[in-house]
Structure 1
Amino acid sequence: MEQFLDRLPETRWPRLWLVLLCLALWLPGFFTIPPGDRDESRFAQATRQMVQTGDYVRIRLGEVERNKKPAGIHWAQAAAVNALETLGVEDARDRIWAYRLPSLLGALIAVLATWHFGRALVGRRAGFLGAALLAGCLVLVMETHIAKTDAALLGTVAVAMGLMGRAYLNPSAFTAGQAAGFWLVLGASVLLKGPIGPAVPLLAGVTLAAADRAWRNRAPWLRALRPAWGVPLMLLAALPWFVAVTIATDGRFLSDAIGGDMLSKVGGADENHWGPPGYYALIFGVAAFPAAFLVLRALRGAWADRLQPATRFLLAWAVPVWLLFEAVTTKLPHYTLPAFPALMLLAASWALDPLRRAPPRWLHWLSMAALVGAPIGLALAAAILPVLADGGVSPVALLGLPVAALFILGTLRALRAGNPARSGLLAVLLAVPLNWVVLEGVLPRLTAPWISPRLAALVEATRPGLADTQFGVVGYHEPSLQFAMGGGIGLLRDGPEAARFLAAAPGRLVAVADRQDAAFREEAARLGLSPREHGVVSGFNYSRGRRVALTLYGVDG
């Protein structure tokens, strides 16, 4: 096993091994975890409405314009759905995993780009190790299971920064074709998430210009990137859709996306996603698990080697982006993902350096805390979650405890043997069974969190083929229910409105949350209705942090 780990970075087929590693890490739960609230179901349902209507310019969720993110991810998801339907996959547009494919492919591009471009920055062996460490990062594993922008964005950032790294290290050999690729990839990133993608090389460029000023008066890498025609090329790649959507929405998209979404994240906590400065440093041990311990051990050595061009470039890539998101008020664990490829390459370079500097004592103990604490925390969470959610012990979930113990013992053994590179690669491999326990054995088997699929099944059993416009709900307006039943469902304000909805046309059904049930019955009695109960779906609405019971009502006759 030790010989295999030591020789794996020198494999003749590095791409194949990395793809197999990614699939082993990411496929658990990919097909079986139900649609999540809220972002995943919002993106997936908006894409499904694009496919249904053929309108690929405007983004709508139900009857409401969704003017938050550009259409790039929706186009990628629609392409995946259309391709699957062409291949004969039945009901592809109703399967959430079809909308997750662009996330998986974007993450795969990021891993392969980290290896491909990392070879020039840190060498072939370290490039392979860095790519493997990135593949295993828990935050990226989770993003591959969510049908939204961030994993796909990481793919574009990794390619763009890899090209920028080549321009920085060897500007004379950087071709016009490579420069065009750099700017076109940034144009694609703009279509995915607006200015976030271009901000990464911009911040890195400003940092490099400041760092190089002491011994360089010019920036040959900037001339190699050909910004004079590159920036217009980037804008040209993204501008047509922005013009089209601005016309189609009478300017509402730009005003809502910039003023209502982007600026609200900078100046306030969007949807209560607030975190203090230092938030990302505090969660790094879990977000970057299982690679976090190696990154922490490498920090001192990376800073000491900052005068080396490759190391300086990787630091200029990672540090400003990290500080930017620490300064932004709205914080979510995946926001710092664009810095992760650089951090993993720095860690891999340190681990394979025979002259590496040992970490100071405080970083050593922080790395040990990450190495031991994260797997224990994940295993305990996997064991406790079925008890808290469904009130029962899951034998599969308990497997996480011995798997976590195996992870800790195996990784520590390799680390104490003085081989941090082997310990890093072993940590990624030992994370595979832990992912299978949590993502395939626990999350899809829970009952309480997955309210929408169960409610949709109850509606189908009660009135097979009921049109979405004939169904209304009060007290549970989660996007996963729209994805499960259709964008035309009635999202009702309160119990009396639910009673009026039921009375307005024959054959309708309405789901009423327990908090609105009394008001619903009172209004139904006033209208002369005699609603019939068809069943109750209860569970835990994790978006709001509370339990809910939904009673399905209809009227006979």
Structure 2
Amino acid sequence: MKKLSVISNHSLTQAQWFLFFFIAALVLWGISLGNVPLRDWDEGTRALVAREIYRTGNWLYPTLQGKSYLLKPPLMDWAIALSYSMGGVHEFTTRLPGAFFSACGVPLLYGVGQELFRQRLPAVLAASVYLTLLPVVRHGRLAMLDGTAVSFFLLLLFCLLKSRQDRRWAVGVGLGVGLIGLTKGLLVVPLGAIAGAFLLVDRQFNLLTSPYLWLGLLLGNAPAFAWYIAQWQHYGTSFLQVHFQSQGLERLSQTVENHGGAPWYYFLELLKYTWPWMIFWPGGLYLAWQKRRSSWGCLVLIGTIGYLLIISVMNTKLPWYIMPVYPFFALAVAAQLAEFWQNHQRYPRFLIVMFGFLAVAGLAGCVYFILADPQPVLILMGGVVALTMGVVAWFIQQNNPRFMLMLFLGMYLILGLLMTSKSWVWELNEAFPVKPVAALIREKTNPTQVVYTSFGYGRPSLNFYSDRQVIPADTATLQRVWSKQPYLLLDSATLAALSLPDSVSLGTAEGFTLVTPKPNFVAPL
């Protein structure tokens, strides 16, 4: 049976594969990490909280622009504040901790695959798929909590699987639980339930009596419990109300901040962002069902179905809630690819059609970028997509398993090109460029003065870059507060409509004018 030695070669040890995937992930997660501004909402909020920790030294009771911040546990904010203390306050140091922790998920998934499949080939394939999934890379690079929480979950699963041979690994299970709880709070409940269900289905009952498991749970959860108790003692029931009720339980039954969606919302997310691996996912799920009595089959089914069901019935829908599904997605795809690798006498013809279509789409994208968004990196990326998918289709037509190697290398290069462009955080196009406006506010206003704006909603990134509190207000409110002599940041239509008497323009940026009352003009500091 023909196999490709470049992937299935056993001359590489498990430690070397760990190192290979770790370095490959660090490069992809770290390249051009600070080349675009922070986005709203999560990145701006994380940066504001971490900067206040860094400036004030208040590590136990974080604040957001001077007010108590009760929404999220502090582990990521601590990590970013530490990053600030070592490298200064800017985009790269803001994103670095999350990117590092998220990148660790790639070698961890390789370890999980090795323990589940008991073969190196599907483990390598699973880590390679996870490494080249667009949402995994992109969200992992952002200063957000989800990529880090998923890596801690993979640490939990890896230690759970390793403990089948050596009970001492069970200590890591408890550490993983504690780290998830200190990163994203209530997310530990569904992820812990998935791990617990797998433990029971996999008949690891003896682990429940292992002192190593309980020692790990004690050590891992002690810091989280200590922090939660400290918050409760300091803030009382208001902390419980905000942290657990508003940020957790209400999202199950209510649509928070208009972030709703249909029950199939997350299936559409998978369809939009997991190409080309989506082509192999249905076959991988079918194989998991066939092998449901095996460890890998039952874990893929429990994780995929269980977690998708939980987030689909929630009324609040956000794209990053789906992040814990991607490791199971990668394992299922890897199972299908391994099956193709070992049985390549004749590949399904529909694969040629699918990759041929993607090649044409890549060529169309190349033309689009030339005409509409002439960034050389994106034009090159479109060309690489077309070339990669075309060569993959040709290899498949030749029944050559090298198509997998070509696909991995091509996707790694494609994602690398995207991350070096200015378009990998595409949400920045949803509103005005924040940095020029923030620079105007920072240079022309008193640091202690609140700024009111006619823009429709508050932007944490604007608050971060301006180092001021910028509050959105309607026209009536702006007219009322003008008598109190604040600074107003107004778009041209609102400025004309208000007809503010004795106003002085301090400057204009991105269609917004900063004005202040003439008698109380404050000179730039």
Partner residue, 2:454: 475
Give the distance between the partners of 2:72 and 2:262, measured in 1 at CA.
Answer: 25
Give the residue type in structure 1 aligned to 2:438: A
Give the distance between the partners of 2:50 and 2:342, measured in 1 at CA.
Answer: 49
2:174 to 179, 183, 189: 183
- Cα pair 2:62 2:74 within 8 Å, conserved: yes
Give the distance between the partners of 2:287 and 2:362, measured in 1 at CA.
Answer: 29
Unaligned runs of 5+ in 1: 85-91, 538-548
Cα deviations across residues 300-338 of structure 1 (Å, max 9, x unaligned)?
A: 122111122343234333331222222222222322222
Give the residue type in structure 2 aligned to 1:452: V
- Cα pair 1:472 1:498 within 8 Å, conserved: no
Secondary structure of 1:37's match? coil
1:552 to 508, 514, 522: 514
Give the distance between the partners of 2:98 and 2:206, measured in 1 at CA.
Answer: 35
Give the distance between the partners of 1:492 and 1:206, measured in 2 at CA.
Answer: 46
Give the distance between the partners of 1:397 and 1:25, measured in 2 at CA.
Answer: 16
Distance 1:50 1:320, change over 3 A: same
Give the distance between the partners of 2:42 and 2:360, measured in 1 at CA.
Answer: 28
Partner residue, 1:325: 311
| 2:233 is aligned with 1:263 | no
The alpha-carbon deviation at position 145 of structure 1 amounts to: 2.5
Give the distance between the partners of 2:508 and 2:380, measured in 1 at CA.
Answer: 35
Give the distance between the partners of 1:373 and 1:39, measured in 2 at CA.
Answer: 36
1:22 to 14, 22, 25: 25
Secondary structure of 2:421's match? helix
2:333 to 335, 343, 347: 347
Give the distance between the partners of 2:73 and 2:234, measured in 1 at CA.
Answer: 14
Query: Percent of aligned positions with the same letter in both sequences?
Result: 20
Distance 1:77 1:536, change over 3 A: closer
Distance 1:427 1:268, change over 3 A: farther
Give the distance between the partners of 2:432 and 2:406, measured in 1 at CA.
Answer: 34
- Cα pair 2:122 2:334 within 8 Å, conserved: yes
Give the residue type in structure 2 aligned to 1:141: V
| 2:58 is aligned with 1:52 | no
Secondary structure of 2:72's match? coil
Give the distance between the partners of 2:356 and 2:336, measured in 1 at CA.
Answer: 21
The alpha-carbon deviation at position 455 of structure 1 amounts to: 0.7
70-79 vs 312-321, which moves further: 312-321
Give the residue type in structure 2 aligned to 1:535: T
Give the distance between the partners of 2:221 and 2:46, measured in 1 at CA.
Answer: 24
The alpha-carbon deviation at position 226 of structure 1 amounts to: 5.7
Give the distance between the partners of 1:206 and 1:415, measured in 2 at CA.
Answer: 38
Secondary structure of 1:56's match? coil
Please give the root-mean-square deviation of Cα atoms over the aligned residues, in Å.
3.5
- Cα pair 2:174 2:214 within 8 Å, conserved: no
Partner residue, 1:79: 82
- Cα pair 1:350 1:356 within 8 Å, conserved: no
Distance 1:293 1:20, change over 3 A: farther
- Count, aligned residues: 508
- Cα pair 1:42 1:479 within 8 Å, conserved: yes
| 2:113 is aligned with 1:118 | yes
Give the distance between the partners of 1:444 and 1:110, measured in 2 at CA.
Answer: 20
Secondary structure of 2:320's match? coil
Secondary structure of 2:423's match? helix
Secondary structure of 2:513's match? strand
Give the distance between the partners of 2:325 and 2:161, measured in 1 at CA.
Answer: 14
Give the residue type in structure 1 aligned to 2:139: E
Cα deviations across residues 495-514 of structure 1 (Å, max 9, x unaligned)?
A: 56557767756xx7532134
The alpha-carbon deviation at position 369 of structure 1 amounts to: 8.4
Partner residue, 2:504: 531
| 2:19 is aligned with 1:33 | no
Cα deviations across residues 108-147 of structure 1 (Å, max 9, x unaligned)?
A: 2211111123222222232122112111111111112210
315-324 vs 472-481, which moves further: 315-324
Give the residue type in structure 1 aligned to 2:309: L
Give the distance between the partners of 1:440 and 1:180, measured in 2 at CA.
Answer: 39
Give the residue type in structure 1 aligned to 2:403: S
Distance 1:407 1:28, change over 3 A: farther
Give the distance between the partners of 1:225 and 1:308, measured in 2 at CA.
Answer: 27
The alpha-carbon deviation at position 386 of structure 1 amounts to: 10
- Cα pair 1:129 1:425 within 8 Å, conserved: no
Secondary structure of 1:532's match? strand
1:160 to 156, 163, 168: 156
Distance 1:26 1:289, change over 3 A: farther
Cα deviations across residues 406-430 of structure 1 (Å, max 9, x unaligned)?
A: 121133234444456x434432321
- Cα pair 1:5 1:426 within 8 Å, conserved: no
Partner residue, 2:438: 456
Partner residue, 2:384: 403
The alpha-carbon deviation at position 49 of structure 1 amounts to: 1.1
Partner residue, 1:412: 393
Give the distance between the partners of 2:67 and 2:493, measured in 1 at CA.
Answer: 26
Distance 1:410 1:504, change over 3 A: same
Give the distance between the partners of 1:163 and 1:440, measured in 2 at CA.
Answer: 35
Cα deviations across residues 163-213 of structure 1 (Å, max 9, x unaligned)?
A: 22234xx3xx332x322221022111101011313532423433563x56x
Give the distance between the partners of 1:242 and 1:370, measured in 2 at CA.
Answer: 50
TM-score by length of 2: 0.84
488-497 vs 289-298, which moves further: 488-497
Cα deviations across residues 244-299 of structure 1 (Å, max 9, x unaligned)?
A: 12222233222112111112221122222222223222331333334332333322
Give the distance between the partners of 2:237 and 2:381, measured in 1 at CA.
Answer: 51
Partner residue, 1:516: 494
Distance 1:145 1:263, change over 3 A: same
Equivalent residues in 2 for 1:199-278 (5 A)?
199-206=190-197, 209=200, 211=201, 219-224=205-210, 231-278=217-264
Partner residue, 1:289: 275
The alpha-carbon deviation at position 53 of structure 1 amounts to: 1.4
Higher relative contact order, structure no. (Cα contacts within 8 Å, ≥ 6 residues apart)? 1
- Cα pair 2:172 2:216 within 8 Å, conserved: no
Partner residue, 2:147: 151
Give the residue type in structure 2 aligned to 1:259: Q
Partner residue, 2:302: 316
Secondary structure of 2:21's match? helix
- Cα pair 1:50 1:56 within 8 Å, conserved: yes
- Cα pair 2:53 2:81 within 8 Å, conserved: yes
Give the residue type in structure 1 aligned to 2:235: T
Give the distance between the partners of 2:128 and 2:332, measured in 1 at CA.
Answer: 13
Distance 1:553 1:385, change over 3 A: farther
- Cα pair 1:510 1:554 within 8 Å, conserved: yes
- Cα pair 2:232 2:239 within 8 Å, conserved: yes
Give the residue type in structure 2 aligned to 1:127: A
Give the distance between the partners of 2:321 and 2:297, measured in 1 at CA.
Answer: 23
Secondary structure of 1:330's match? coil
Give the distance between the partners of 1:102 and 1:192, measured in 2 at CA.
Answer: 12
Partner residue, 1:432: 412
Secondary structure of 1:334's match? helix
Cα deviations across residues 31-54 of structure 1 (Å, max 9, x unaligned)?
A: 202110111111111111111111
